[in-house]
Each structure stands twice: as C-alpha cells, then as structure tokens.
C-alpha cells in the first residue's frame, strides 16, 4: 500500500502496476515489438503473444477468445457498446441504464439521448441498489440495450446483475444486456455467461495492469458496428495497431490476480472492516451501503460534520491519498451524481470520502489507516 511512506488509498481510481505486468509489458516491447498484423517472423511472435493472451484473458471470464476485443480501456468499451448499436436505427429504439453508472456509460447514454432516442435512467434506493420494479417497467420490445454496472465505483455497492439480465431476457430476448464490470473485476471472480452478461467493459489499470488497455467482451451471436474505422485489426472489429505489450501486461496482471484472489479478498475484507470499525469508535460517520452487498475494496464514508474537500487535503498533507469519488469528476466541485441518486441529504452530500484498498495491502493497514484519519480529524477540530 505504501510507496515512500505515502499511503495510497485510491485503488478504485487506478492501481499500481504489478511487477509481473510491468515485466511482461517490457519484455514484449523489447522482444516482440513488431506490428502484430505484419507478415514476418517478428510479427508472428507478437501475434502469438496477442492470441495466447486473448485465450487466457477469455478463460478468466468463462468466455471464448473470439468474444474478446482489446480496447484502450473501459471508457472506450462502454462508449462502443452503448453508442454504436444506435447508428442508423429508427428513433423508436430505446436504451435503459441506471442513474448511478460511471461517466463512461452516463455520458454515452446522454449522447444517445441527444440523437433523439428514449433513454431510461433507472433510479436506486438509499443504499445505492437499482430499483428492480422500475428497471423491469423500463424494458420493452424497443429496448436495444440495457446497461447496468456490476458494482458502483464510488460506493462499491453490487447490483443484482443476474436477476436483471433474466428480467431483460424474459421481456425482450433481443435486448443486449451490457455490464460495466471495470470496478468489480478488481476483487470479484466473474463468469459472464453464468451471470447473463452479454457484453462487458474491463480496464487493465484497475487490476494492476497497464493503463491504456481494456477489453470489450461481446457474446457470440451479437454484432455491433465498429467504433474506430481504419485497418482490419481485431477480426475487423477495431481498427488501429494493437497494443500487444499492454495486452501481455494485462494477461500477466490477471494471472497473478486470479492466482491470489481468494487470499487477497480475505485480507482486504478484514483490513477494510477493521478500518471502518476502528473509525466508528470515535467518529460520527455512516458507511455507505453497509447493509447491502459491497465490493470488499471500497469504503465510502460520510462524515457527519466534516467537508470532504477539507479532509481530503488534510489527509494528503498527512501522507494519505484518497478521493471524493470518481476520478473523472474530481476537480469539479459538483456533488456526486451517485450520492444524489441515493438522495443523500444536501447538508452532508459533500462530506463523503472514498477509501479504496488494493492488491498490495498488508496486514495491519486497516488499523494504521484508521489512526491517520482519526488523527487528521482531531487536528481539524
Ligand atoms: C466503473 C468504471 N467504468 C469505467 C471506467 C473507465 O475506465 P478507463 O479508465 O479504463 O477508461 C472506470 C474508471 O474509473 C470505472 O470505475
């Protein structure tokens, strides 16, 4: 967790790259740098790394290799799946999503809406779980895509994905059920087909892989228009020279992550629980989503009387990096759209901080972090 004594608790924004991922990235750049689409021996070497990595990455999610297309990250995968199917469609086509999605989905949905399509933004309850009845009512024979994130990046709250996919398929078997699993993949083992997920967005840098690499999973049988036009890479689905080193780094990160997942999740869960329980002893706070299923690595805390910006700056000065919520929205002083959707009281909506743990956590970190937060709050009062 520590780099030069600075405590990094912002893994939901991005994670440090795992050594194995860095090594795989570097080795590929040095030894297999040729264009994977070329026709000579070095290209074949790059192509082999690409296809072996694709096969391995697919197997981690119970998917087939041809269901995996590499992208520049989660944002590109979400944009691709949400926006392109509406190209050349009658404006009777509809999109259903939720009010708590990451900006990559929300802004894509708003783009679809601005092109004249009906978009349903389904609300959630006060714990951050999507309202199922409203979701069911929003699906109809015109629904082209239903997009629901597996778990929220600000609160860690998990959505009833399997149930929602089932609802969609019962009402309209032709609707594509998409899930942004970018945050969930960090600490959950997911089998897309078993969960009823038909397309998904994954990002390398959330699991200790390189930045600038991601995956667009699309179930066999579905076709979506290309997002980037140009060469015929990635089975003619995505143009552009493939980032083979990034793919190799992602595969290596995933391999280490999957081999350690059970023990890492247990440690993170324990340390996070110690962190939350210790803080609760002396500080007036609410842990968001405490009564529902959450990802183990995210702890979103509402402090009763402390402004989050003030606390974030003070924590930074005391050597701890946290964030108010989505990195994509930081800098903007706007309240979080996720907390707004959860109808968090206006008086405390700017009193939330997200503490997010990661793969490099160590025993004792929960206690240590709680001590620093407590000390910082005392200094502020
Ligand atoms: C839930 C979620 N979706 C999508 C993204 C975007 O992923 P990327 O940074 O790879 O574009 C993020 C990153 O913060 C995220 O948390």
Q: Tens place of pLDDT for every residue, the chain, 381 residues?
A: 555 689 999 999 999 999 999 999 999 999 999 999 999 999 999 999 999 999 999 999 999 999 999 999 999 999 999 999 999 999 999 999 999 999 999 999 999 999 999 999 999 999 999 999 999 999 999 999 999 999 999 999 999 999 999 999 999 999 999 999 999 999 999 999 999 999 999 999 999 999 999 999 999 999 999 999 999 999 899 999 999 999 999 999 999 999 999 999 999 999 999 999 999 999 999 999 999 999 999 999 999 999 999 999 999 999 999 999 765 454 556 899 999 999 999 999 999 999 999 999 999 999 999 999 999 999 998
Site to probe by mutation for ligand 1, drawn from 72, 206, 298, 356 as the one with most ligand atoms within 8 Å of Cβ, is: 206
Residue in 218, 187, 195, 250 with CA at minimum distance from that of residue 17: 250
CB 59 within 8 A of CB 191: no
Burial category of 129 from C-beta neighbours within 10 Å (exposed 0-12, middle 13-18, buried 19 and up)? buried
- The bridge status of strand 143-147 relative to strand 176-180 is parallel
Give distance in angstroms: CA of 151 to centre of ligand 1.
12
Nearest atom in ligand 1 to the alpha carbon of residue 149 is 1
Active site residue 296: no
**CA 208/CA 64 separation, integer angstroms:** 23
Structure tokens at 60: 């981690």
Residue 192 CA, distance from chain mean position: 15
Second-level CATH architecture of 19-255: 3-Layer(aba) Sandwich (3.40)
Nearest atom in ligand 1 to the alpha carbon of residue 212 is 10
Domain with CATH 3.90.1150.10 in the chain: 2-16+261-376
pLDDT, residue 334, reads 84
| Per annotation, catalytic residue among 60, 124, 296, 328 | 328
**CA 320/CA 256 separation, integer angstroms:** 26
CB 250 within 8 A of CB 58: no
CA torsion 56-62-66-71 (nearest 10°) is -70
HEC string of the chain equals CEECCEEECECCCCCCCCHHHHHHHHHHHHHCCCCCCCCCHHHHHHHHHHHHHHHHHHHHCCCCHHHEEEECCHHHHHHHHHHHHHCCCCCCCEEEEECCCCHHHHHHHHHHHHCCCEEEEECECCCCCECHHHHHHHCCCCEEEEECCCECCCCCEECCHHHHHHHHHHHCCCCEEEEECCCHHHCCCCCHHHHCCCEEEEEHHHCCCCCCCEEEEECCCCCCCCCCCCCCHHHHCCCCCCCHHHHHHHHHHHHHHHHHHHHHHHHHHHHHHHHHHHHHHHCCEEECCCCCCECCCEEEEEECCCCHHHHHHHHHHCCEECECCCHHHCCCCCCCHHHHHCCCCCCCCCCEEEEECCCCCCCCHHHHHHHHHHHHHHHHC
Give distance in angstroms: CA of 327 to centre of ligand 1.
9
On the CB side of 30, CA atoms within 13 Å amount to: 6
CB 219 within 8 A of CB 199: yes
Give distance in angstroms: CA of 378 to centre of ligand 1.
34
Structure tokens at 333: 């002083």
pLDDT, residue 298, reads 98
Residue in 10, 87, 47 with CA at minimum distance from that of residue 353: 10
Closest residue (by CA) to atom 14 of ligand 1?
A: 13
Domain with CATH 3.40.640.10 in the chain: 19-255
Q: Determine the topology of domain 2-16+261-376 in CATH.
A: 3.90.1150
């Amino acid at each position: 967790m520590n780099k030069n004594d600075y405590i990094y608790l912002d893994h939901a924004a991005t994670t440090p790259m795992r050594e194995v991922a860095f090594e795989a990235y570097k080795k590929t750049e040095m030894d297999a740098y040729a264009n994977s689409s070329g026709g000579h021996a070095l290209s074949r070497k790059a192509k082999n790394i690409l296809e072996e990595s694709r096969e391995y990455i697919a197997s981690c999610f119970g998917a087939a290799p041809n269901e995996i297309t590499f992208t520049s990250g989660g944002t590109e995968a979400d944009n691709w799946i949400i926006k392109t199917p509406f190209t050349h469609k009658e404006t009777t086509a509809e999109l259903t999503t939720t009010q708590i999605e990451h900006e990559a989905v929300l802004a894509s949905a708003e783009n679809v809406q601005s092109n004249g399509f009906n978009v349903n933004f389904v609300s959630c309850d006060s714990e951050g779980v999507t309202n199922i009845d409203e979701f069911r009512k929003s699906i109809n024979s015109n629904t082209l895509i239903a997009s629901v994130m597996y778990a929220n990046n600000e609160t860690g709250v998990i959505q009833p994905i399997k149930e929602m996919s089932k609802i969609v398929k019962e009402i309209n078997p032709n609707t594509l059920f998409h899930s942004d699993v970018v945050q969930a993949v960090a600490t959950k083992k997911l089998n897309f087909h078993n969960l009823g997920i038909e397309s998904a967005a994954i990002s390398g840098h959330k699991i200790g892989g390189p930045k600038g690499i991601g995956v667009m999973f699309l179930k066999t049988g579905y076709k979506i228009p290309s997002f980037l036009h140009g060469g015929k890479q990635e089975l003619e689905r995505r143009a552009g020279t493939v980032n083979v080193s990034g793919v190799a780094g992602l595969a290596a990160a995933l391999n280490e992550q999957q081999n350690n997942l059970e023990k890492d999740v247990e440690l993170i869960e324990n340390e996070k629980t110690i962190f939350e329980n210790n803080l609760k002893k002396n500080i007036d706070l609410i842990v968001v989503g405490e009564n529902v299923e959450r990802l183990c690595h995210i702890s979103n805390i509402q402090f009763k009387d402390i402004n989050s910006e003030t606390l974030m700056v003070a924590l930074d000065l005391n050597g701890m990096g946290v964030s108010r919520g989505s990195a994509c929205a930081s800098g903007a002083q706007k309240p979080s759209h996720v907390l707004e959707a959860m109808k968090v009281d206006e008086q405390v909506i700017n009193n939330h901080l997200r503490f997010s743990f990661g793969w490099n956590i160590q025993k004792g970190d929960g206690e240590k972090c709680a001590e620093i937060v407590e000390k910082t709050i005392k200094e502020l009062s």
